[in-house]
Copies of this chain bind each other. A is one copy, B any other.
Amino acid sequence: MVSTYAICGIGQAIVDCQANVAFEFLESRDIDIGSMSLVDENEAIRLRKSLDNVMMSAGGSCANSIVTASALGSKCCFIGKVSTDEAGIHFKNSLRDIGCTFSTPPASEGPSTGQCIVCITPDGERTMKTYLGVSGFLYPCDLDEAAISGSQIRFITGYLWNCEFGKETALRAIDIAKGNNRMVALSLSAVFVVERFRPNFIKTLPLIDILFGNESELRSLFECDSVDMCMSKASEVCKIVCVTVGDQGVMVDGKGLLPIFIPAFPVNKVVDCTGSGDSWAGAFMHYYLLGSSILEAATFANVAASMVIGHFGARPKSDFKSQMERYNSTLLH
């Protein structure tokens, strides 16, 4: 079966607006450090105006993963909704620059392109206020069936469930994938998403080949405190389960085997955690599709995530691919 794409990402097209802030900036606004919450357009505009030196880049959890895989050399496509406004054009060009196909037609009416205001505190932690805008209006009819059926993995983020008809869009994408005997990967995205859509996630789980999440998301999903027990439950139905454990490393399991912890790579200085989990998932899928073992793919994903943490912004830097190739050559020679 010939594949047009390695990975097809289906998610929210959001433009990241990032800036460094002092702890006091968030405290004075009563915003919890490390939180992610949804805001309306006015609040997003107000918050953005109070920031200095804002760096804009195409973002959103799903696109971040796809960009990492593209940067490593995977042929990827992204399905998501932007508006015809300047931010939408920025998003589109940014994906195309890295070699990722993005052909979802932009909405010529309705809300503006989604934006995520990312406030980075001196500890490298990110606090996000997201205005979903038009990104939250991705309908089943927006899905490019040829792209989905021609991809080895279709990657869906839990955030998608939070859109109008998002659940239907996600399930339709899974249907197309399963009908073509393709793999489906799901990122749990955030605890608030898991809490809101728990029954539907549990029902969808047997259709998921690769599940990504962190400890809190997994605990919330199964309403169980023991991560080991959650891993067992998830791995009974999913082929591969990857759960990050803080900045310590990642637990992997699958097929009801044995949960194994793989320690993280040491990072000299945490600059900005934005997108590290997204990069992890993107790198894991890239290496797994290249034929790496679970251990190899997870280790390289650890390295990739450590590189993203070590600089400003959610996106890999220009020397990312060559750096990763150097790691590869030593570890696989």
Chain A residues engaging chain B, CB cutoff 8 angstroms = 240, 249, 252-255, 257-266, 293-296, 299, 326-327, 329-333
Contacts and interface: CB of A to CB of B under 8 A. Distances in A.
A263 B261 contact: no
A161 to B, nearest CB: 28
B266 A261 contact: yes
Contacts of A254: 330, 333
B332 A258 contact: no
Secondary structure at chain A's binding surface: helix, strand, loop or mixed? mixed
Contact of A293 (B252, B258, B265, B296): B296
Given A258-B327, A263-B264, A296-B296, 7 more contacts: A257-B330, A258-B326, A263-B263, A263-B265, A293-B331, A294-B333, A295-B332
A330 B294 contact: yes
A295 B263 contact: no
- Give the one of A240, A294, A299, A332 with max B CB within 10 A: A299
A258 to B, nearest CB: 5
Number of copies of this kind of chain in the complex:
2
Given A263-B264, A265-B261, A265-B263, A253 B330 contact: yes
Contacts of A262: 299, 331
A240 to B, nearest CB: 8
Contacts of A333: 240, 254-255, 257, 294
A249 B261 CA distance: 14
A296 B297 CA distance: 11
A242 B182 CA distance: 39
A232 to B, nearest CB: 12
- Give the one of A249, A264, A294, A330 with max B CB within 10 A: A330
A250 to B, nearest CB: 12
Nearest to A326: B258
B260 A327 contact: yes
A209 to B, nearest CB: 12
A330 B263 contact: no
Nearest to A293: B332
